[in-house]
A and B are shown apart, each in its own frame.
Chain A
Amino acid sequence: MKRFIGFIKKEFYHIFRDKRSLFILFGMPIAQIMLFGFAITNEINNVDIAILNNSKDATTEEIINKLNSSSYFSIKEFIQNENEIEAIFKKGHVKAVLNFEADFSKKLSTKNNANVQIITDATDPNTANTISNYVSAILQNYTQTINKNVTITYQIIPKTRMVYNQELKSVFMFVPGVMTIILMLVSAMMTSISITREKELGTMEILLVSPLKPFQVIVGKVVPYIFLSIVNAIIIIILSIFVFNMPVQGSLFLLGIESILFIITSLSLGILISTVSVTQQTAMMISLMGLMLPVILLSGFIFPITSMPLPLQIISNIIPAKWFIIIVKGIMLKGVGFTFIWKETLILVGMTLFFIVLSTKKYKIRLE
């Protein structure tokens, strides 16, 4: 036991003397969460739109006023004919054009329907989609108010309510993702680098030729990073609660336990990486390419898994991050208890055991 403690002490010396990686270790979570929270956002706010009003009557004016008074849109320009639409998009800042047909009011009162065309700039499809949805919602809202006094029989009016994230704040979506990335990166990349560094320096040879048991070396390498990752997880949760007002609906304790589980999953992956790489450089490449990219692309962090092609959906199942994100979202946003996430937890436990067994099998007590 004394040997083991001596080993861990040495690991902490390494970590605290390397100012640069220490900075990455603690600077990165803060920077990432701030970036995702403030800069990258799915919401629309004050989007510039243009209006082509072919009828210019009371109804269209009213609709335009409603649009303008919402915080989502600001009307930039009024154009006079359809030929200008293309030109205005090419200028770039206008993201959508609303085209009201002629005699809008009249048609609405006589025929009971009138057309408005929403043309959006789909170079950014997500934004285009959101804009179109928002405009439709405003229009629908308006229809309801003017129909208030009229009783139309057999009308189905869908009322949408976004639950768990009423205001569709994107930071709510990013926090679980960022937390996943950071825990994964710190745990897996840092451990694999610190193990391969010993190989590169040649000190691994001495450790092997010492009475230290291989698992003591590995566990000794891992313990400091469990500690650092937990500190990181706490920082992220505190930031999201106090800076972004993100609620933690479920149990903080459960969130903590699940985070530790995921940290251990990542660490075992890190050990596995270190058994297959000889230099710090390869360890870093494998960690970045093999872990970061799948976490960002296939875990459901940014792109919804359900809209991926089937093969990718299947692949996404083997990515631990996917399950952790489900768990975190469940606890933080939905406030669910363990009974709702036991399946995902079990999958993570299974994966962890698999990685640990595999890396102990692969870990060599000799050099070859």
Chain B
Amino acid sequence: MSISVQNISKSFKNKTALSDISFEVKEGELFGLIGPDGAGKTTLFRILTTLLIPNKGEATIANFDIIKDYKSIRNNVGYMPGRFSLYQDLTVEENLEFFATIFGTTIEENYDLIKDIYVQIEPFKKRRAGKLSGGMKQKLALSCALIHKPKVLFLDEPTTGVDPVSRKEFWEMLKRLQTKGITILVSTPYMDEAALCDRIALIQDGKILEIDTPREIVKHYPKTIYNVKAANMYLLIESLNIYKHKYSVYPFGEFVHYTDSRTNFNPEDLKLYLKTKNLKNISIEITQATIEDTFMELAK
């Protein structure tokens, strides 16, 4: 196992950040930690990168214990903290060179590994990091985290605050890194990114709700979800919320995801009810559960 976490708990003063977290990540796996801000993702990352000591539980990274062998772990992991922690007043090249030096290596030595990523920012290598766009900062930060050829890569919310194009490119880069045998633990608040991981853990309020492949996780959703649509969104939500048989009502883009508490639910009944509420252009269709639906159901 590349990462093994057993019953980790952590609290600050009287606030519990993590309670009884356990999971394992196989070598070369792309594992996603999916949850909103404040779920405990960053605390978990800091424990696994030896920056914090858990109150309870054990963990090993590349078979090194996070407490006893913290020095070995520090030599073998790459870490990209939540904010792209770069030296804003150093140029792209200087940043990369600095991180290479402190890890006792050179850019040339591991250029193969970062080549794909670095060529995209190489034209700007004389530019100060502070003047880069969000997407370029993200690529530079990843290059810096990779420069010493780590066995395990920790990426704490690498796509937060980055536009969709850069996000997509970033995930493509991760997929390529995976083929080089690097284990990647990545956290994100975006549910839509979950599908890109091999396996995911849904996390909220310091607890893991579920661990599985993205495909399996949505299968666990217990109910049939209906896409409901009508001309007046607000009235639709209001009406569904007071419908006596509703189980859950969540706006989902242009639709409302509706589940019913009855087993023998007939959409026509709902349509009739909505008509009595003066709603027009009503449509009700069965739809697939998403990871977000599952998350909300589990977090309820």
Which residues does A use to contact B, with CB under 8 Å? 2-3, 5-7, 9-10, 13-14, 17-18, 201-203, 205-212, 365-368
Contact = CB atoms under 8 A, between A and B. Distances in A.
B102 A205 contact: no
Contacts of A7: 98, 101-102
B102 A368 contact: no
Interface string B32-55: 000000000000001001111100
Given A206-B85, A207-B102, A10 B53 contact: no
Given A202-B82, A368-B53, A211 B102 contact: yes
Listed from nearest, the 9 A-B pairs whose CB atoms lie closest are: A6-B101, A202-B85, A367-B51, A203-B85, A17-B89, A209-B79, A205-B81, A211-B75, A202-B81
B85 A2 contact: no
B86 A211 contact: no
B246 interface: no
A6 B85 contact: no
Interface string B81-102: 1110111111000100111011
Nearest to B128: A17
Contacts of B71: 211
A94 to B, nearest CB: 57
B55 to A, nearest CB: 11
A3 B88 contact: no
A367 B102 contact: no
Contacts of B103: 3, 210-211
A212 to B, nearest CB: 5
A10 B98 contact: yes
Interface of B: 46, 49-53, 70-71, 74-75, 77, 79, 81-83, 85-90, 94, 97-99, 101-104, 144-145
17 contacts: A3-B102, A6-B102, A7-B98, A10-B94, A10-B98, A17-B89, A201-B85, A201-B88, A202-B82, A205-B79, A206-B144, A206-B145, A209-B50, A210-B74, A211-B71, A211-B103, A365-B70
A13 B94 contact: yes
A365 B66 CA distance: 13
A206 B97 CA distance: 14
Contacts of B88: 201
Contacts, number: 82
Given A211-B104, A368-B52, A13 B74 contact: no
A67 B103 CA distance: 76
A7 B145 CA distance: 17
Nearest to A212: B102
A209 B77 contact: yes
A367 B48 CA distance: 12
B87 A203 contact: yes
Nearest to A204: B85
A3 B97 CA distance: 11
A243 to B, nearest CB: 34
Contacts of B82: 202
A209 B74 contact: yes
B51 A206 contact: no
Nearest to B73: A209
Contacts of A14: 87, 89-90
B85 A367 contact: no
B98 A6 contact: yes
B98 A206 contact: no
A210 B145 CA distance: 10
A202 B102 contact: no
Nearest to A368: B52
Given A205-B51, A208-B51, 8 more contacts: A3-B104, A6-B102, A201-B83, A202-B85, A211-B103, A211-B104, A212-B102, A368-B53
Nearest to A201: B85
Contacts of A202: 81-83, 85
B87 to A, nearest CB: 6
Nearest to B95: A10
Nearest to B49: A209
Contact of B102 (A13, A18, A210, A365): A210
